[in-house]
Amino acid sequence: MDQLLQLQKDLGARIRSYRKAKLYNIEDLAHLADLNPAHLGKIERGERNLTLGTLLKIANALDVSLSELLDLERPVEKEEEPIISKTVACLRELTLGEQEHIYKTARLFSRNK
């Protein structure tokens, strides 16, 4: 197998590992990265060469740096609180007013415990 194809496969597997560590399904990550889910699936399987722009979108959606995503020697660690990370990612897409409403609702839940 040539080096470029092996790199595509390794990088795709790393993206999939980060996605799973954050408890995202492929549609979740595709939405956050503004990518087509089928295209993202091909990237994860190493079937597509990706641009730096696409790689940056994926890194941002996963909330990791490019250097961390590209460090193929470093193991992907499972996040301790993936639900919080997923919630924060969703909140980033909302207006400030919507974020405040959700925050107030969360406070009500936490006070009732």
Q: What is the pLDDT of residue 113?
A: 63
Rg (CA), the chain: 16
DSSP assignment, residue 75? P
State whether residue 7 is helix, strand or coil. Answer: helix
From the centroid of its chain, how far is CA 8?
A: 18
CB atoms near residue 88 (< 10 Å): 11
Q: What is the pLDDT along the chain (113 residues), one digit of tens a residue?
A: 699 899 999 999 999 999 998 889 999 999 999 999 999 999 999 999 899 999 999 999 998 999 999 998 887 877 667 777 778 778 888 899 998 998 888 888 887 76
What is the token pair recorded at 108? 């009500």
- Give me 106's structure tokens: 């969360």
Q: Could you tell me the pTM of the whole model?
A: 0.71
